[in-house]
Amino acid sequence: MNNILFLILRRMRLPIIAVIVSYTIAVAGMSLMPGVDPDGQPWRLSIFEAFYVISYTATTIGFGEVPFPYSTAQRMWMSFSIYLTVIPWFYAIGKIITLFQDPGLRQAFTTSRFAREVNHLMEPFYIVCGYGETGSLLVRALDKNEVRVVVIELEQERINELELEDYQFDIPNLCADAKLPETLLRAGLKNPMCQGVAALTNDDHANLAIAVAVKLISPELRVLGRAETEQTASNMASFGTDHIINPYTIFGDHLAMEVHAIGTYLLHEWLTGVPGESLKSPICPPIGKWIVCGYGRFGRSVVQNLELEHISTTIIEADPERTGCKTCIVGNGTEKETLQQAGVHEAVGIVAGTNDDINNLSIVMTAREMNPDLFVVLRKNKRFNAALFEHFKADITMEPSDIIAHECLANMISPLLAQFLSLVRLQTNVWANSLIQRLVETVGENVPETWAISITQENTPALFHMLAHEPVTLADILRNPNHREASLAIVPLMILRNHQPLLLPEADTALERGDRILFCGHDNAKSTTTYALSDFKTMRYMLHDQQLADSWLWRQIKRRKSANNVRT
């Protein structure tokens, strides 16, 4: 702010001096001009009176000739002063207006406002670099999950989009290059409330630069880096980027999960979705012979993962030498002949994974014509083609932005959730299905909220205090504070005690101080428990059905009453 003031003052020097000088000349001259008062005596304006007259003339207010009508000499001087003072005055006003329209000054204003907003954030927050498809999806989900976000984006257009979006929290945003460490510092990299940085720009090099800067400036912060090439990914890994998100690898992985454990996959999608959105119905990819068109980053990952599931694949690739594909059919996959050669009639599924949307659509349209029962996996590259993809209705559409956002969410909502999801991968499909069924029964078919609490003095003072005196079970804290016989629509997913995770704890599990619990449920239930666990009176009601009196007097009376009851 100080800098802006100095900038304005520096630029306003010349106009202000012009105003002062013109006033000086006009006022001095006015006070020297001879005049005649009504009695015929010679008379002159005093300096103050002259200043008064010039002031109202220069600002074009104009009260007329005071205190007496002027002499010719005074009028001549007055005419001269009007032109002398009005011009510098307008010059100064014009200068102020241009100054406020100056892009440099405006940038200075927005930057300082941004820095102030970030400084005033009193809750833990994440810095999201890049507000493209991925960034906007992630920011929306985080906002719904009540995680605060700071956004840095290079393009003003997207910043405008963000400002038009209806978020429940105010999201500080800056149009600047996140590659510059200065920008990251402004966004609160050194702020003690900053939890981590998500580098999600569509430029791998920029993401790399961001990850390096964060690891150098604040090594303790968590960095989520988007990396679309192997090279960037290994580079990021070399200096300890916490989560490297490669959408192609993740998609391949998920596809494999869908083939062998649809329940696990569904659970994963569900817990990392945007709360409130309805869940897509699950589609199980068939097992048999698959055709993969395009053996790039995407195709390779798909083939590897399908092979792990013992599914045989036939690859169609236009440029086998460059992509390093050993056994493949050369071609685009858009022509009938190539598809025929690959055996489209016997195949059960086809993956259109080239980096050209129109080619991908052409491949699957031709293939479906030849074999209507094909299971279609379609890769979408560009957002503006979304309408075409919606019309085609592929069984699975792979959208990099969606995958990255889900992956980020899993790590950003709570570290517990990421741990839970990795443990889920080790469980059986049956286990996952039963959990899904339980979730649907408790919270309905929409994506629920997932949150973690820790039993500490700061976060849940009431519960923390109670645990010193009596045992409290998980079921106790899930009672409805308005009606204790009923319980809230919450599913406890995991308890972490002394770094030992306990999956799906039973209702009668006794809690301990220092436990961290991962919950899943409706957002109403979330705010209710958060309040209840820190309020002594509510806790006492939930545990013992006792209404604690508000005032000291009532408490004394109650205590006496209960003492009497004991005596009789």
Partner 1 sequence: MNLEKVIFGFFILLALTLNFGFFIGDIDNPHHHHAYELYVAIVVNLIATVLKFGDRTHIGAIHLATSLVADLQLIAAAILWAAAGTNGDDPSVIVSVVSLSGGALLANITSVVLLIAETIQIKR
Kindly list the residues in this chain that would bind partner 1 in the complex (CB under 8 A).
3, 6-7, 9-13, 16-17, 20-21, 23-24, 27-28, 46-48
* Residue closer to partner 1 (CB basis): 30 or 410: 30
* Residue closer to partner 1 (CB basis): 45 or 329: 45
Whole-number Cα distances in Å, 105 to 12, 101, 186: 13, 8, 17
* Residue closer to partner 1 (CB basis): 56 or 431: 56
Burial bucket for residue 103 (CB in 10 Å: 0-12, 13-18, 19+) = exposed
DSSP calls for 158-172 = HHHHHHHS--SS---
Kindly state the smallest distance separating residue 104's Cβ from partner 1, in Å: 15
* Residue closer to partner 1 (CB basis): 13 or 120: 13
Q: Is the bond into 492 cis (omega within 30 degrees of 0)? A: no
* Residue closer to partner 1 (CB basis): 37 or 163: 37
Residue 109 parent element (H or E) = helix 103-119
Q: In the numeric block, which tokens belong to residue 74?
A: 């005074």
- Cα(142)–Cα(122) distance, rounded to whole angstroms? 17
* Residue closer to partner 1 (CB basis): 55 or 385: 55
Kindly state the smallest distance separating residue 5's Cβ from partner 1, in Å: 9
Q: Are strands 290-293 and 313-317 parallel, antiparallel or unpaired?
A: parallel
For residue 409, give the amino acid letter: L
Sign of CA dihedral 463, 143, 210, 269: positive
* Residue closer to partner 1 (CB basis): 3 or 231: 3
Kindly state the smallest distance separating residue 56's Cβ from partner 1, in Å: 16
Kindly state the smallest distance separating residue 4's Cβ from partner 1, in Å: 11
> If DSSP codes are grouped into helix, strand and coil, which group holds residue 351?
strand
* Residue closer to partner 1 (CB basis): 27 or 378: 27
List of E strands, 10-131: 35-36, 42-43, 125-129
| Residue 276 zone, left/alpha/beta (φ > 0; ψ -120 to 50; rest) | left
Kindly state the smallest distance separating residue 103's Cβ from partner 1, in Å: 19
- Closest to 380 in 3D by CA, of 405, 407, 351, 408: 351
* Residue closer to partner 1 (CB basis): 17 or 66: 17
Angle at 453 between CA 149 and CA 512, to 5 degrees: 160
- At which residue do the structure tokens 């927050």 appear? 125
Kindly state the smallest distance separating residue 36's Cβ from partner 1, in Å: 19
- Cα(275)–Cα(353) distance, rounded to whole angstroms? 30
Kindly state the smallest distance separating residue 300's Cβ from partner 1, in Å: 57
Kindly state the smallest distance separating residue 144's Cβ from partner 1, in Å: 44
- Cα(332)–Cα(353) distance, rounded to whole angstroms? 11
Q: Do the Cβ atoms of 247 and 302 come closer than 8 Å?
A: no
Residue 126 parent element (H or E) = strand 125-129
Kindly state the smallest distance separating residue 44's Cβ from partner 1, in Å: 11
Residue 532 parent element (H or E) = helix 523-532
